[in-house]
Amino acid sequence: MYGQQIVSTIMKNIVLFGPPGAGKGTQANVLKDTYQLVHISTGDVFRKNIKNRTPLGTLAQSFMDKGELVPDQVTIDMLSDEVAKNAEGNGFIFDGFPRNTTQADALDEVLAAHDACVDAMIALEVNDEILVKRLLKRGETSGRPDDSSEEIVRNRIQIYYNETAILKSYYQDKNKYHGVSGEGDIEAITKRLKAVIDTL
């Protein structure tokens, strides 16, 4: 009884990080079940809104189709709503958010409002040429317009380096950064991620 109470009050909030095609979505889907966490993929939420033809979807699509980032305030408001909807759970795996320091600061504020914080950023490290191959292969079956051309795929990777990669030092400065290799078998990568999460 006592043990159960402790487990239910510990929240773990993990940012799963890495460039497009690193395998964040695939791994988050496994980890959310293992650790009973809510997986929030901002890209998935935008795609759902596009499918349902909401005003948010229409706005997001104009940026997504070119491989560009959706404006911060729109993305932050959406993320904040998603966190509020699931605030009673064990915590979150954030996938695709934050993508710059404005969003990282916003995430701290959003979580602080629920008496929580980011416990760790875990990054999947993958060579660029492997990323391009993986994304184009996914594009053959996913129907995602942003996976369908090498130009857009490379633009997304470039934006990652220009705007997002800086978050490595942002979380390193807080002693919250953990890098693992995102190359190889899906199961082997999951093992590496679990080894980090189990130390948190």
The contact pattern for ligand AMP, residues 63-82, with x = CB under 6 A and - = no contact, is xx--xxxx----x-------
Q: Is 103 in the site for ligand AMP (CB under 6 A)?
A: yes
**Block residue for tokens 């909030």:** 13
Residues within window 6-35 making contact with ligand AMP, judged by CB under 6 A: 20
Sign of the dihedral defined by the CA atoms of residues 73, 38, 63, 150, in that order? positive
Q: Which tokens go with 183? A: 């190359």
Among 46, 92, 160, 171, binds ligand AMP (CB under 6 A): 46
CB of 43 to ligand AMP, least distance (A): 2
Q: Which stretch binds ligand AMP (CB under 6 A): 59-67, 80-88, 119-127, 178-186?
A: 59-67
Distances (CA, A) of 56 to 38, 47, 101, 109, 165: 22, 10, 22, 22, 26
Q: Which tokens go with 168? A: 């490595």
One-letter amino acid for residue 22 of the chain: A
Binding site for ligand AMP (CB under 6 A): 20, 42-43, 46, 63-64, 67-70, 75, 96-97, 99, 103, 146, 156
